[in-house]
Amino acid sequence: MNRDTMSFDIIGVGCGVATLSTVLQLLKRVKSEPAGSMQAPTVLIIDKGMSVGAHNLSGAVVDPGPLAELLTPEEFAGLPKFTTVKSESFQFLTPGGSMQVPWMPKSMRAEGYPIVSLSELTRYLAGLCEKAGAEICAGFAAVELLKENGRITGVRMGDKGLDKNGVQRAGFELGPDLIGSMVILGEGACGFLTEQLIAERGISGPNPETYALGIKELIETPECKGRAGTIMHTFGYPLDQMTYGGGFVYCVSDTMTAIGMITALDYRNPTLNPHDLFRLFKHHPKVQPFVAGGKVVEYGAKVLPEGGFHCVPGLAVDGAIIVGDGAGLCNSLRLKGVHLAVQSGLSAGNALCEGWKNNKDFSVAAMSKYPEQLKASAPWKTLQKIKNVRAGFSYGSIPGIMTIGMGVVSGGLLPPGRMPLEPDWETMKAKADVRPWVQPPKVADSEAGTQMDKLSDVFFSKTHHEENQPSHLKILDTAKCTTCIQKFGAPCTIFCPAQVYVLKDDKTSIHIDFSNCLHCKTCQIKDPLQNIKWTPPEGGGGPVYSKM
């Protein structure tokens, strides 16, 4: 069988906000040139999800600044949104109570910002890109970067139709090679090809990236008139002093609440279960009123890159650029990444247009305009001002809050230099050295619709994979599992938000239910022995988010 080859000028991998913003800006800039002076590049964007937006999940209260720059006033007015933020609060939670934070810096406030579904926003931007001339193909995973003399020349798409033993099934298809002058890597946090490229070219940031697992539900509730637009961010309970993160409650309408919990993956206790923490959060008396009597209608999970300024890798190599979450562009303090994804798209799109105009000059030197422009933008400068905040929190809540204070007072000059971060997988302690984490709450009948176990929740993510294919989750050395089970108590069976890993009866090995996988990548990031490798499954598999 021969592998097909298809050629495009630009290839986007991952149909998320960052890739779409890059392509839209590029095509708009080309179109704005004097009529007939420049031919538009051919653009193909591929995505591993079953449909556009199927793998896109976020809070999401969006800082609209960069979107307003990317879109025309008419396009901006047509943005799909649930509502806008009308009232907001920050709460410190204790096990049974709460205290409102009396003052928040302006940069942390969100009144008037739109509350959106990232899946819907993605579909909207994809529609604009198609209108501008780009082609978009969902259901196709990119599995390899193609190279020639060190230059990225395209991507290989995954084969379709291998059975669980790697043997060709009826209808087997070889994935084609997509050849292009430029590849935009917008795979999201911990992207498969992006991570390979960063490691291979030695372009990681000075600090290793640190992640958090975000778990989110959409809950339909009895009507509560006037609640739409109310948002609440929390810190404290159910996390301890040494675990960074918090919860959010966004009333997206009078009858629908988006609720989520973010748990930083540099946690130490191997018995910590992020899904249990989420359940405890929903059970808290300050949170309960927002979900009481409700029922879950959608569920999902993803990781966020939290490290910030000192973790951002090199953004351009010969033939490829990295945009959005895959480049670590997220402001964890503001719990916002969408505006940085759009901002990276604006800067990358401008650099691509200049390169295109200049006889397809997509060399590293030409593409260096992308990071240059990004680093002159307001969202980047905000990131710079909090450059050490995330590292401060790795020493606990009090040092973290002090780091914020120093940063705000000094305009980002303090603490000076770079505070180091440890890779998330290195922070886990042995089970014998910790106290078991608290269990999820006992479920009252009134909470039955909102207190799901993991598998019931997975049902609401509409996750599906062809069962008869090789597992996309690879345990690199099964002998190491025994060590991990003895020392850490099989943490993959605990942290995975989809119960993919199950301890076998022999208590020395792990069974993998890969078809439940939400593609969050937590297992690859947090496995303390770095023994799990996430690879792209057959295109079209995974969750199918519609309003997340």
Cβ nearer to ligand SF4, comparing 83 with 535: 535
Kindly state whether residue 521 participates in binding ligand SF4, applying the rule CB under 6 A. yes
Cα distances (Å, whole numbers) of residue 173 to 143, 155, 418, 534: 14, 16, 49, 22
Residue among 349, 301, 302 nearest 326 (CA) = 302
Among 140, 425, 534, 545, indicate the residue that binds ligand SF4 (CB under 6 A). 534
Q: How many residues bind ligand SF4 (CB under 6 A)?
A: 13
Q: Which residues contact 69 (CB under 8 A, 6 or more apart)?
A: 342, 346
The CB-of-105 to ligand SF4 minimum distance in angstroms stands at 33
Among 30, 389, 473, 548, indicate the residue that binds ligand SF4 (CB under 6 A). 473
Cβ nearer to ligand SF4, comparing 399 with 423: 423
Residue among 271, 275, 240 nearest 393 (CA) = 240
Q: Which region, judged by CB under 6 A, interacts with ligand SF4, from 52-60, 185-193, 338-346, 490-498?
A: 490-498
Among 523, 528, 536, 547, indicate the residue that binds ligand SF4 (CB under 6 A). 523
The CB-of-461 to ligand SF4 minimum distance in angstroms stands at 9
Cα–Cα–Cα angle for 469, 473, 474, rounded to 5 degrees: 105
What one-character-per-residue DSSP string does 33-80 give? Answer: SSTTSSPPPPEEEEESSSSTTTT-----B---HHHHHHS-HHHHHT--
The CB-of-296 to ligand SF4 minimum distance in angstroms stands at 17
Distance of CA 455 to the CA centre of its chain: 21
Cβ nearer to ligand SF4, comparing 368 with 471: 471
Cβ nearer to ligand SF4, comparing 27 with 141: 141
Cβ nearer to ligand SF4, comparing 23 with 189: 189
The CB-of-532 to ligand SF4 minimum distance in angstroms stands at 7
Q: Which region, judged by CB under 6 A, interacts with ligand SF4, from 21-29, 188-196, 418-426, 520-528?
A: 520-528
The CB-of-521 to ligand SF4 minimum distance in angstroms stands at 5
CA dist., res. 351 & res. 357, Å (int): 10
Report CA torsion sign: 117, 120, 125, 126. positive
Kindly state whether residue 520 participates in binding ligand SF4, applying the rule CB under 6 A. yes
User: 218 pairs with which residues across the strands?
Assistant: 258, 298
Cβ nearer to ligand SF4, comparing 499 with 546: 499
Cβ nearer to ligand SF4, comparing 201 with 533: 533
Among 498, 510, 544, 548, indicate the residue that binds ligand SF4 (CB under 6 A). 498
The site string for ligand SF4 over 500-519 (x = CB under 6 A, - otherwise) reads: x----------------xxx
432 is written with which tokens? 């014998």
CA dist., res. 136 & res. 270, Å (int): 41
CA dist., res. 547 & res. 444, Å (int): 28
User: 299 pairs with which residues across the strands?
Assistant: 217
Kindly state whether residue 522 participates in binding ligand SF4, applying the rule CB under 6 A. yes
Instruction: Restricting to residues 295-334, name those near ligand SF4 by CB under 6 A.
Output: none
The CB-of-516 to ligand SF4 minimum distance in angstroms stands at 7
Cβ nearer to ligand SF4, comparing 235 with 534: 534
95 is written with which tokens? 């096990």
User: Which parts of 141-294 are beta strand (E)?
Assistant: 142-148, 151-157, 160-162, 168-173, 177-185, 211-220, 230-236, 245-253, 256-264
DSSP 420: -
Cβ nearer to ligand SF4, comparing 286 with 465: 465
Cβ nearer to ligand SF4, comparing 182 with 452: 452
The CB-of-119 to ligand SF4 minimum distance in angstroms stands at 18
Contact 375, 351 (CB under 8 A): no
The number of residues in the chain equals 548
Kindly state whether residue 278 participates in binding ligand SF4, applying the rule CB under 6 A. no
Kindly state whether residue 496 participates in binding ligand SF4, applying the rule CB under 6 A. yes
Q: Which region, judged by CB under 6 A, interacts with ligand SF4, from 149-157, 366-374, 433-441, 492-500?
A: 492-500
The CB-of-333 to ligand SF4 minimum distance in angstroms stands at 25
CA dist., res. 82 & res. 466, Å (int): 33
φ, ψ at 190 (rounded to 5°): 55, 45
Binding site for ligand SF4 (CB under 6 A): 473, 496-498, 500, 517-523, 534
